[in-house]
């Protein structure tokens, strides 16, 4: 192990070094950064207004004027894919952030309180996990109403049980350690013990789970938009673009190819980055 671990290296430096050596993870990170930049600078990168129609350019094939072709209303597909990245990435990141905000405190409460509190929270989380993630998100989005904000809330609630179980498990593990026992013996209140001594141990697995969950949330947002429960027309979303494209798969296949390829690439990139992050944060990696 000493031959692998460099002298004076902190755990953070070791994790960064491992991640940088993970080629697939770095490739995924590069793709994620590219999509984030595309979404951030969509007004500058999009060659046309994504909602601008042209009845003289309906379902035009990809060309020099329209690299990704045009849709059934004559709108530039490239511009709509670029602007659609904003909806998908925003939904993925904000929904997972909401799931973390909901799930982690509840999981810490369950793990540290124990007893009937732990039993009630665990049974509720198990009941939600027994329903497939996407089915639960669709049901909640249908109840809340068709809108991107409601779709993000539905995804956040549906994804929160995973973080509840993660935080609970890490809290139970941390509660049996010497430093937590010492903190409790010194009279630290439960909230201080949770924040200072238990929460830091959750950060590494939480980062990995959040990265992987973003990929799931992007797929969920695309699915909800495909069903008309996410981003509402005429604003572009990869899912709603696929919904419109299904009527023209034989006449204009590019309408489905490009938004579908965007979803595939960004989801694959987040999964690769998440796998690399998991390996980088695993201390057993140095033994390999």
pLDDT digits (tens, 9 = 90+) for 71-103: 888 899 999 999 999 888 998 999 999 999 999
- Quick check: helix, strand or coil at residue 76? strand
Q: How far is CA 281 from the centre of its chain?
A: 19
95 and 159 Cβ atoms separated by less than 8 Å = yes
Structural domains of the chain ordered from first start: 15-42+78-281 (1.10.3720.10)
Q: Which residue has the higher pLDDT, 131 or 197?
A: 131
Cα–Cα distance for residue pair 200/100, rounded to 1 Å: 14
Q: Would the pLDDT of 152 be above 90?
A: yes
In sequence order, what are the beta bridge partners of 70? 76
pLDDT, one tens digit per residue, over 241-258 is 999 898 888 888 999 999
pLDDT, one tens digit per residue, over 20-78 is 888 898 999 999 999 999 999 999 999 999 988 888 888 888 988 889 999 888 899 99
* pLDDT bucket at 2, cuts 50 / 70 / 90: very low
Query: 């509402």: which residue's tokens?
Result: 232
pTM across the whole model: 0.86
Residue 84: in which H helix or E strand, if any? helix 77-113
* pLDDT bucket at 259, cuts 50 / 70 / 90: very high
Q: Tell me the average pLDDT across 251-279.
A: 92
Mean pLDDT of the chain: 85
What DSSP letter does each residue of 197-218 carry, written as one string?
IIHHHHHHHHHHHHHHHHHHHH
**Cα distances (angstroms) measured from residue 144 to each of 86, 157, 219, 224:** 22, 12, 19, 12
pLDDT of residue 8: 56
Omega before residue 106 within 30° of 0, cis: no
């Amino acid at each position: 192990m000493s031959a692998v671990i460099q002298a004076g290296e902190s755990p953070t430096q070791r994790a960064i070094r491992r991640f940088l050596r993970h080629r697939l993870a770095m490739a995924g990170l590069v793709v994620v950064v590219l999509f984030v930049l595309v979404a951030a600078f969509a007004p500058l990168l999009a060659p046309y207004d994504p909602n601008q129609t042209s009845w003289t350019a309906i379902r035009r094939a990809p060309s020099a004027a329209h690299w990704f072709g045009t849709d059934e209303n004559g709108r530039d597909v490239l511009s709509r894919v670029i602007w659609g990245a904003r909806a998908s990435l925003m939904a993925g990141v904000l929904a997972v952030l909401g799931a973390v905000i909901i799930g982690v405190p509840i999981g810490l409460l369950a793990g540290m309180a124990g007893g009937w509190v732990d039993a009630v929270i665990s049974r509720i989380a198990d009941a939600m996990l027994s329903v497939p993630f996407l089915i639960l998100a669709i049901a909640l989005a249908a109840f809340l109403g068709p809108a991107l904000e409601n779709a993000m809330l539905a995804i956040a609630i549906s994804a929160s049980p995973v973080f509840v179980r993660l935080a609970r498990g890490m809290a139970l593990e941390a509660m049996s350690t010497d430093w937590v026992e010492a903190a409790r013996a010194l009279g630290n209140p439960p909230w201080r013990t949770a924040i200072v001594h238990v929460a830091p141990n959750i950060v590494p697995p939480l980062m990995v789970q959040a990265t992987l969950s973003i990929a799931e949330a992007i797929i969920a947002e695309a699915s909800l938009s495909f069903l008309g429960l996410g981003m509402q027309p005429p604003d572009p979303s990869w899912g709603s673009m696929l919904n419109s494209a299904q009527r023209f798969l034989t006449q204009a296949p590019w309408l489905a190819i490009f938004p579908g390829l965007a979803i595939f690439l960004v989801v694959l990139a987040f999964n690769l980055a998440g796998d690399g992050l998991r390996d980088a944060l695993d201390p057993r990696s140095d033994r390999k």
